[in-house]
Amino acid sequence: GRTAAIVGADEQGLRDGLMSLSILARHTDGEYAIPEVRLRDWPDCAVRAWHVGLPPARDDALFRNWVDTMARLKYNTLVLEVNDNFPYESHPEIGRRGAPSKEQIRDWVQYARQRGFEVIPQVAVYGHFNWVLDKPGWADLAEDPEAGGRWGRWVANVRDPRYLPLVFDLFAEVIDVFAPRIFHIGHDEITFQPI
């Protein structure tokens, strides 16, 4: 038989090489066949990221399957947008029913990291704060508390003295669970309505 050799500059390079090999392998008649090739393959972009919302607790198998698929496609970074799909202890009224538990999220992060991913949590604030501003008791934190119009309540009033303590409470809990190297605050798109 022939030998397959995979050489990579680091663990991620070896992982990507294995993914290339698995793509080349063809299963026929109970055996795998790999064409005789010499493949030199490395990414043009060091960061190959996918941004998606953190799934609800019930989607455990779907999440793991998605991570495995992204690994086979040689992605190396997952940006998981958390927002209200998180069991906030400091502000339980903000978390959504059906959100994964903190332990489930930790398990997902570990699962992804074991497959070579940098996992970056995102908590969207300021111009994408509707996930808080539409919750009972928080409408008056909006730049425009009236829910009418095209966008409803999206933009937070950052001059309100409650804004930063709330945001930092939410950030602290997410950072504690994800233990990330990078944290994304989703601080964009502030022109939905006049400020």
- The SS3 call for residue 119 is strand
Distances (CA, A) of 61 to 11, 39, 53: 26, 33, 15
Mean pLDDT, all residues of the chain:
88
Most confident of 2-6, 11-15, 38-42, 85-89: 85-89
Residue-wise pLDDT for 116-153, tens only, equals 999 999 999 988 899 999 999 999 999 887 766 666 68
Q: How far apart are CA 31 and CA 39, in angstroms?
A: 22
What confidence tier does 170 reach under pLDDT thresholds 50, 70, 90?
very high
pTM of the model: 0.83
